[in-house]
Amino acid sequence: MPMRFELSNKEFVSLSRMSVKQASVHAKWIIGRVIGTKMQKTAKVRVTRLVLDPYLLKYYNKRKTYFAHDALQQCTVGDIVLLKALAERRSRHVKHELAEIVHKVGNVVDPLTGKRVAGSEFLEPLTDPPHSLEQEGTTLTEKLKELNISAAASSGATLVKSSTTAP
């Protein structure tokens, strides 16, 4: 025989709160994209987090907007920035400060050469560091051309050899 429980309204509410887990994040460091800089010394930053849907067991993007104090007004729309939580609010909405600009918008740098690029074209000429090939007097582009020619010549030589040895 099933047991029946009689609960008051307060007890029911407290039990229902216990069963539902509410995720709240109070992060000290946040990374996000600047979406607005029209306010003086303040940047509007959008942060995207992945949140698990408990029913579907699938992660979805959850966006939240923060206002951060930008004393030097160095942010532009599209920058990726690192925010630090303040100990106390600067104003009603501003609870963070700009710690660092991680990636400046429009300033794409090739990680291998350290040169600025636009699409697949280098904005700066490719040159060697002064200490590596200064003795030989060759530039990086000449060395790359030499490597491509030698690679093509060696692959062509193997093709010629294989075609002459086969009956």
Same domain, yes or no: 97 and 118? no
Is 16 a member of any domain? no
* Domains identified in the chain, total number: 2
Q: Which of 67, 65, 63, 62 shows the shortest CA–CA distance to 86?
A: 67
Q: Walk along the chain (167 residues) and give the pLDDT tens digit of each residue.
A: 555 556 555 555 454 454 445 555 677 999 999 999 999 999 999 999 999 999 999 999 999 999 999 999 999 999 999 999 999 999 999 999 999 999 888 878 887 888 888 888 888 877 755 555 455 566 777 777 777 765 555 555 554 444 455 55
Cα dihedral sign for 150, 151, 153, 158?
positive
The domain spanning residue 75 has which CATH number?
A: 2.40.50.140
Q: Which residue stretches of 9-130 are H helix? A: 9-19
Is 89 a member of any domain? yes
pTM of the predicted structure, to 2 decimals: 0.55
Same domain, yes or no: 95 and 33? yes
C-alpha span between 84 and 146 (Å, rounded): 50
Is 129 a member of any domain? yes
Domain interval for residue 129 = 108-160
Same domain, yes or no: 61 and 77? yes
Same domain, yes or no: 94 and 141? no
Same domain, yes or no: 81 and 125? no
